[in-house]
């Protein structure tokens, strides 16, 4: 597990209360993890603060799985 994936998993576990075992790369935030739009907005803000990046709304809408979030944040931080 990459450092970014580990940090994202920690955010999901702490902020949303999901089980660590649910945080797989193909886990869909809404369908698999049951995250609603309010929780999702909070998670995106947490990603921005944790990784010191800006995630525009149209980019945030495309991040549907944990794997997509890992790829996106990896690109933005490298």
pLDDT in tens, 4-31: 999 999 999 999 999 999 999 999 999 9
Q: What is the pLDDT of residue 46?
A: 97
Residue 1, pLDDT score: 79
**What is the residue range of 29's domain?**
3-77
Residues assigned a catalytic role:
36
Domains identified in the chain, total number? 1
Other CB atoms within 10 Å distance of the CB of residue 63 = 20
CATH of the domain at 33: 1.10.1200.10
Segment 33-69, tens digit of pLDDT = 999 999 999 999 999 999 999 999 999 999 999 999 9
> Which one-letter DSSP state was computed for residue 12?
I
3-state helix, strand, coil split of the chain in percent (to 5) is: 65, 5, 35
């Amino acid at each position: 597990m990459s450092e970014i994936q580990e940090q994202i998993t920690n955010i999901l576990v702490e902020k949303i209360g999901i089980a660590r075992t649910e945080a797989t790369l193909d886990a869909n935030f809404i369908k698999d993890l049951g995250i609603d739009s309010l929780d999702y907005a909070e998670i995106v803000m947490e990603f921005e603060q944790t990784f010191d990046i800006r995630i525009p709304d149209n980019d945030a809408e495309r991040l549907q799985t944990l794997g997509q979030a890992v790829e996106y944040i990896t690109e933005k931080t490298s």
